[in-house]
Amino acid sequence: MKPLAWEFIRSAATKSSMTQFLKDHWEFWRQFRQRFETTGAVAPSSRFLAKAMTGPMARRDRPGRILEIGPGTGAVTQRIVRLLRPEDRFDLVELNETFAGLLRERFATDPNYRAVADRSQVHVCPIQEFTATEPYDILISGLPLNNFPAELVQSIFETYFKLLAPGGTLSYFEYMYVRPLRKLVANKDEKTRLNELDRIANNYLSKHRINRSWVFVNIPPAWVQHLQKP
C-alpha cells in the first residue's frame, strides 16, 4: 500500500476513534449529572483500569462464561470483546437504558463488537433481578458501590457470589481512599453508612480476595479487587 493511502486510512481511523471517544465522554458526563447515584464517576474508565479489571480473564486457560455488570459506555467492554474466545458466552447487565442502547448500537455497528455479537447479550435490569441459566466463570463489575445504601451493597455481593461458579473470579474497582476521605466531611448518618460499607466489603475481602491491582492512570486513581469463590 502506498504511504499516502495508508496515511489517509490511519487518519480516518483516528478521527473515528476520537469521535467515539468524545461521544462516550459526553454521554457519560450527561448521565453522571442526571443519575449520579448509579453512574458514580465523572469519566469512563481508562484503558489501564480496563486492563486491570480483565486480568483474570486474560490469564485464564480455558473458555468460559463472562458477565459484566454496570458496563456504562463500554470502556471495559471494548477490552472484554477483544479477549473473548469462540467458545465463550458474554452477558452484560446494565441498569441505565441510555448506556444499554449505546452498547447495543456497538454490537450492531462496531467491527470488534460485531465479531462476538452472536454470543453476547445486553440485559437491562438490576443485577439482583438478573436470571442466569448457568453460573459464570468471570464477573467484572463497574457498579459504584460506594454510592449505594449498605443494605443494597450487601445484596449485590450476595448476588455476585450466587452468580459465580466454584473457582470463578469477581473483579470490581473502587476509587482509592474514597471512603476515608468522605468520612472526614460526612455527617453522622453518612459516616454510619460508610462504616457499614467498610464492614461488608472487608468481610468479603478477608475471605475471598486473591489479588489487588493499583491503577494510578485513571480519573480518579483506583484499585481493582479480585475475589475468588471457593
pLDDT tens digits, 92-103: 999 999 999 999
For the chain, the helix, strand and coil percentages under 3-state DSSP, each to the nearest 5: 55, 20, 25
- Residue 177, sorted as left (phi over 0), alpha (psi -120 to 50) or beta, turns out to be left
Q: What is the pLDDT of residue 19?
A: 53
The 10s digit of each residue's pLDDT in 37-61 is 444 555 677 999 999 999 999 999 9
pTM of the model: 0.82
Enter the C-alpha cell of residue 67: 458477565
Give dist(CA 40, CA 152) in Å, integer. 15
Answer whether residue 21 shows pLDDT above 90: no
Enter the C-alpha cell of residue 23: 461521544
Q: What is the pLDDT of residue 44?
A: 73
| Amino acid present at 189 | D
Min mean pLDDT across 18-27, 81-90, 156-165 is at: 18-27
Q: What percent of the chain has pLDDT over 90?
A: 79
Instruction: Find the helix or strand (DSSP H, E) in which 160 lies.
Output: helix 150-163
Residue 13: pLDDT band (50, 70, 90) is very low
91, 120 Cβ separation under 8 angstroms: yes
Q: What average pLDDT score do residues 187-206 get?
A: 97
71, 90 Cβ separation under 8 angstroms: no
Q: What is the pLDDT of residue 45?
A: 79
Q: What is the pLDDT of residue 139?
A: 98
Is residue 174 classed as helix, strand or coil in its secondary structure?
Answer: strand
Answer whether residue 203 shows pLDDT above 50: yes
Q: What is the pLDDT of residue 41?
A: 55
Q: What average pLDDT score do residues 138-149 get?
A: 95
Q: What is the pLDDT of residue 204?
A: 98
Residue 28: pLDDT band (50, 70, 90) is very low
Q: Which residues contact 33 (CB under 8 A, 6 or more apart)?
A: none
Q: What average pLDDT score do residues 59-79 get?
A: 95
More reliable by pLDDT, 178 or 229? 229
List the chain domain ranges. Answer: 3-228
More reliable by pLDDT, 118 or 32? 118
Residue 30: pLDDT band (50, 70, 90) is low
125, 93 Cβ separation under 8 angstroms: yes
Q: Pick 3-228's CATH classification: 3.40.50.150, 3.50.50.60, 3.40.50.300, 3.40.50.720.
A: 3.40.50.150
